[in-house]
Structure 1
Amino acid sequence: MAETTVSVERPGRLKEFWFYFRENRGAVIGMWVFMALLVIALFAPLLAPHDPTQQFRQHLLQPPVWQEGGSWEFVLGTDALGRDLLSRLIQGARFSFIVGVVVVMIASTVGITIGLLAGFAPKWLDTIIMRIMDVILAFPSLLLALVMVAILGPSLLNAVIAIAIVLQPHYVRLTRASVMSERHKDYVTSAGVAGAGTLRMMFITVLPNCLAPIIVQAALSFSTAILDVAALGFLGMGAQPPTPEWGTMLAEAREFILRAWWVVTFPGLAILITVLAINLMGDGLRDALDPKLKRS
């Protein structure tokens, strides 16, 4: 009687990732909210009912549509200069997402490169690099960003550069730790015996196996960047008026908080919902990408 062997096909990496990711319901909700906000940011000029800088002088501080005195022309009301709040929030989503993407790209690229260098460098160079990173991390991130923006000058671009510099030590430490745990494994030794150069070992052999925690850190850095640029805008050191950036909108609305609650509430809610959605999604990414957290 012939023996029959049953082969169990291993699911693809994408299917396996989605299987673990969807177990976290909060992460799935965060992902859908994030995707909705991303669509709003991409199509902001088409979705915004008015120009975000256009002033309707006859509609100063007009309340939302459901409150007495509101109108469907300005669904979420207007600010102290008569600008449509909904249009400014929609355009603000674009600025927030651009800031998040640029900050993560700069911080991760520089941080990963320095972290790989530290992981493969001689001990003395590794020590120097990590002590510099420790010095940067010793300062409160927002305070350090404020000092850098004060030196460079208040603008959205300078705020992005400052936040990227402040966040990159996290990538350096994370990448170095991953490299140190990977570089003595058999596959790395085999690549070295096969004649792979140092750069090939760093970027082709080792780096792909260190990406899981870096991806999670990128998601968390995205939300941190949005929060920090909003904080800098609120303090007058980030985006400058009339740019429809959420932090700047909060700063402009401070004096009207008792007379017109909507000019403060809606930008604050936009920041809260965006950051919460990204953090929930980051938790799901951590659960799906970290093998230690996967249930057998």
Structure 2
Amino acid sequence: MADTTLSATVPARPGRLREFWRYFRENRGAVIGLYVFAAFVALALFANFIAPYDPTVQNRAATLLPPAWQEGGDWAYPLGTDPLGRDMLSRLLFGARFSFFVGLVVVIIASTSGILIGLIAGFAPKWLDTIIMRIMDIILSFPSLLLALVLVAILGPSLVNAMIAIAIVLQPHYVRLTRAAVMTERAKDYVISAKVAGAKLPRLMFITVLPNCLAPIIVQAALSFSNAILDVAALGFLGMGAQPPTPEWGTMLAEAREFILRAWWVVTFPGLAILITVLAINLMGDGLRDALDPKLKRS
């Protein structure tokens, strides 16, 4: 009876997901960013059903039509058309799909390889750790966009090669972050206990230590996602990323450069899409940092 009474009076510990959401929603900007990002993801996923036209179909009789609410506009093209008569709304929706796909692939490649190398560096002998970290320092010493341009120039301009180049550029951030977290965790009692119990090195790396290093890595992944979208847009703008007629936001900006003064919408809408998406993801990253970092949690 006493045990029953005691268990009834002690509040149950909330689930991890519920606790995470409680801290996350304290940051209103992060919640707004989450909703905006979710809306963009939904639009990208259902672009086939929402887009009124095929994003690559040209209509030479409707070139550079302004948005529907502006004089001379047509409600058949709510956001106007580009210099080749393609519907801006359709191209923006499919462009979101390309941008999010690029961001996801880049984060998966960069984080997987970066975490693996960071774990190896954290557990490796000092000489191997030094070699790995100096290589990462060399990569980080180059401006990220310049290094991505060089890699794409070597591999050839395409969306796939742009993703590979951006992943290589972002990888050192995961290596340094993972190594720092591993070096901190290695000295803790639970790792020493696992060693004494006879845990093998792979188990120590992937089962014992890695789960306790994931919080900062998740935050870095969110920030890398926005950086990947920006970098692929920049490469597309420079003609080294996605190639026409692919409806990618950076490529859309490149195709519209000479029409900036004549047709403001062909530049404004892709630019706004990049701005809003990256801002929303960065706001989400701030919320993730606040929710996952124990030092920032208020009791």
TM-score normalised by L of structure 1? 0.98
- Aligned counterparts of 1:90 and 1:260: Cα–Cα separation in 2: 20
Matching residue of 1:56? 59
Partner of 1:82: 85
2:176 aligned partner, one-letter code: R
Structure 1 residues 241-285: Cα deviation after superposition (integer angstroms, max 9, x where no partner): 000000000000000000000000000000000000000000000
Which of 193, 199, 205 is the equivalent residue of 2:202? 199
Shift of 1:12: 1.1
1:267 aligns with 2:248: no
Partner of 1:219: 222
C-alpha displacement of 1:134: 0.3
Counterpart amino acid of 1:205? T
Quote the residue 1:44 is aligned against: 47
CA-CA distance at 1:190 after TM superposition: 1.2
Higher mean alpha-carbon deviation, 44-53 vs 160-169, is at 44-53
Rounded to whole Å, the distance in 2 between the matches of 1:169 and 1:52 is 36
Partner of 1:149: 152
Give the gaps of 5 or more residues in structure 2: none
* C-alpha distance in structure 2 between counterparts of 1:45 and 1:101, whole Å: 20
Deviation at 1:163, TM superposition (A): 0.1
1:1-296 counterparts in 2 under 5 A?
A: 5=6, 6-296=9-299
Distance in 2 of aligned mates of 1:54 and 1:167: 35
3-state SS, counterpart of residue 262 of structure 2: coil
Measured in 2, the distance between the counterparts of 1:32 and 1:191 equals 42
CA distance in 2, matches of 1:42, 1:50: 16
Report deviation, 1:184. Answer: 1.4
1-structure distance, mates of 2:154, 2:173: 23
Q: Give 1:43 shift.
A: 1.1
Q: Matches of 2:56 and 2:14 in 1, distance apart? A: 51
Q: Tell me how far apart the structure 1 counterparts of residues 291 and 225 of structure 2 sit (CA, whole Å).
A: 18
**Quick one: distance in 2 between partners of 1:12 and 1:53?**
47
Q: Residue by residue, what CA displacement relative to the aligned partner does 1:93-148 show, whole Å, maximum 9, x if unpaired? A: 00000000000000000000000000000001000000000000000000000000
Q: Distance in 2 between matches of 1:66 and 1:40?
A: 22
AA partner of residue 220 (structure 1): L
Deviation readout 1:68-98 (Å, 9 max, x if unpaired): 1111110000000000000000000000000
User: How far does residue 196 in structure 1 lie from its aligned partner after superposition?
Assistant: 1.1
Unaligned runs of 5+ in 1: none
Q: Deviations over 1:170-222 (max 9, x none)?
A: 00000000000001111111111121110011001100000000000000000
Runs of 4 or more, structure 1, over 6 Å off, are none
User: What SS class does the counterpart of residue 167 from structure 1 fall into?
Assistant: helix
Shift of 1:8: 2.8
Amino acid at match of 1:249: M
> 1: distance between equivalents of 2:13 and 2:129?
40
Distance 1:20 1:181 in 2: 25
Size of the aligned set, in residue pairs, is 295
Aligned mates of 1:233, 1:39 — CA distance in 2? 23
